[in-house]
Amino acid sequence: MKTLMKWKKIIGLVLTTCLIAMVVNLHQAAAAMINSRAAMLVDAETGQVIYQQNADQQLPVASVSKLLAACVIEDEIASHQLHWQQKVKINKAVAAVSCDPNYSAIGLQAGQSYTVRDLFDAMLVKSADGAALALSTANGGTIKQFNAKMAKKARQIGLKDVKVVNAVGLRNGDLKQLRQPKIGKNAENAMSARDVVILTRYLLKHYPSILHVTSRPQQNFTIASGQVVTADNSNQMLPGKPYVVPNVVIDGLKTGTSDQAGACFVSTGTYQGRRLITVVLGANRNDPGDRFVQTQRLYQYLQTGVRLKTLTLSHGQAVKQVAKGNKRQVTVKTAPLAVWQPVKEHQTPTLHTHYRASLLDRRGRGVAPIKKGQRLGSGTINGKALQTGDHQPLTFTLSSQQNGKRLGFWQRLFN
């Protein structure tokens, strides 16, 4: 009997220990399990993938595809093919889509003219379908031609698996009179979560002013004389909205919903001084808040499952030997280097430096003159599970922190 009681105590202690461990692990795992068809969490600056789930499957993305349309419009503004105050007249076909309550409608009126700026803002704040269609022809082209521009832009920025049907994100058959021939009525824009990340990084790098638009909680649009529509931003994670995340300031970016795509959401915000990007594709369409809940879980994983680690060059890497100069070495600097590591990972990533061959002599020394701020080469960060959204290594730039003047032969001999 005593032996039996002893074993019961031992078994009870083991079960209690296991239960505690399961609770801890469950808390960490729950933060990382995203209930959607695909999801990603990425550092916008470095491209480091912090979390990914089914990142490479091509999926319908609904109105998230308006980000690609925005890239094309921004390009045409930058190249002076369009300007923000240019007026676009609305035809009956566009008005029919814009006034349909079954779509993301803002009520653009046939015969009325709106500026490119107003249409662009309506496309991003309200996700207005009619505004996206109007922008497709703002440059005098056709919807088919604009689709070709979107596909070309996708290839240019490195998107691997993109299907472009229109600038809106609707099924082809939902465009009414603007339905494109020789394309199935159920055809819909699609891309992978990885492609969405690459697209978003490109947009934030080249056109960061887009955040001035996507961060607005609401905006007024003048539809006709004396008729103003106040449109709420469809992003429910902005400051003051229902799904804010503590310690994270979200200022963009785009929602999307369709029967095939489910509920989708791309967010961007800052945490610990870093800009992050999240992608959730195929969340529960029947629950309007589910895509934001899944995004919250990504940010919760960021706060509890990983930590930000700052890296520095070692003593040997922080200087470069110099030949034929007034200094035997110059100090090497980089921008601040930071990587995200799982809290259970304790191995420090390694830094490898690579100097430009044109700056080196046969002994591997830098050759003077060297100017302060001059780019000397680059480096890579290698570590367990470190990867980027575009599968490229994490890189950084090496530059000189000092001037190194070149000396003549007799000066060097004297020294």
Would you list the domain boundaries of the chain? 34-304, 310-414
Give the active site residues: 63, 66, 127
Q: Which residue has the tokens 């399961």?
A: 22
pLDDT value of position 327: 73
**Rounded to whole angstroms, how far apart are CA atoms 347 and 352?**
16
Residues 6+ apart with CB under 8 A from 124: 66, 70, 210, 213, 214, 254
The length of the chain in residues reads: 415
**Rounded to whole angstroms, how far apart are CA atoms 319 and 206?**
33
Q: Which residue has the tokens 């791309």?
A: 266
Q: Minimal CA–CA distance to 395: which of 135, 79, 115, 46? A: 46
Q: Is 339 exposed, middle or buried (0-12, 13-18, 19+ CB in 10 A)?
A: buried
Q: Which residue has the tokens 């902005």?
A: 238
Structural element, H or E, at residue 281: strand 274-283
pLDDT value of position 408: 58
Evaluate whether 51 touches 39 at the Cβ level (below 8 Å).
Answer: yes
Evaluate whether 347 touches 384 at the Cβ level (below 8 Å).
Answer: yes
**Rounded to whole angstroms, how far apart are CA atoms 148 and 150?**
5
pLDDT value of position 409: 60
Nearest 5°: CA angle at 189, between 183 and 192? 135
Structural element, H or E, at residue 323: strand 319-323
Q: Is 58 exposed, middle or buried (0-12, 13-18, 19+ CB in 10 A)?
A: middle
CATH of 34-304, one of 3.40.50.620, 3.40.710.10, 3.40.640.10, 3.40.50.1980: 3.40.710.10
pLDDT value of position 373: 86
Give, for all 415 residues of the chain, the pLDDT tens digit.
444 444 445 444 444 334 333 333 433 444 447 999 999 999 999 999 999 999 999 999 999 999 999 999 999 999 999 999 999 999 999 999 999 888 888 999 999 999 999 999 999 999 999 999 999 999 988 999 999 999 999 999 999 889 999 999 999 999 899 999 989 999 999 999 999 999 999 999 999 999 999 999 999 999 988 899 999 999 999 999 999 999 999 999 999 999 999 999 999 999 999 999 999 999 999 998 999 999 999 999 999 999 999 888 887 888 887 777 677 778 888 888 889 999 888 888 888 888 888 878 888 887 778 888 889 889 888 887 788 888 888 888 989 887 767 655 655 555 5
pLDDT value of position 193: 97
Query: Phi/psi of residue 381, each to 5°?
Result: -110, 120
C-alpha 353 chain-centroid distance: 27
pLDDT value of position 413: 59
H helices of 260-361, where?
A: 290-304
Evaluate whether 382 touches 393 at the Cβ level (below 8 Å).
Answer: yes
Tell me the two tokens of residue 27.
């808390």
- The sign of the dihedral angle between the CA atoms of 246, 251, 253, 257 is positive
pLDDT value of position 240: 94
CATH topology of domain 310-414: Peptidoglycan synthesis regulatory factor (PBP3), Domain 2 (2.60.410)
Evaluate whether 324 touches 411 at the Cβ level (below 8 Å).
Answer: no
pTM of the model: 0.86
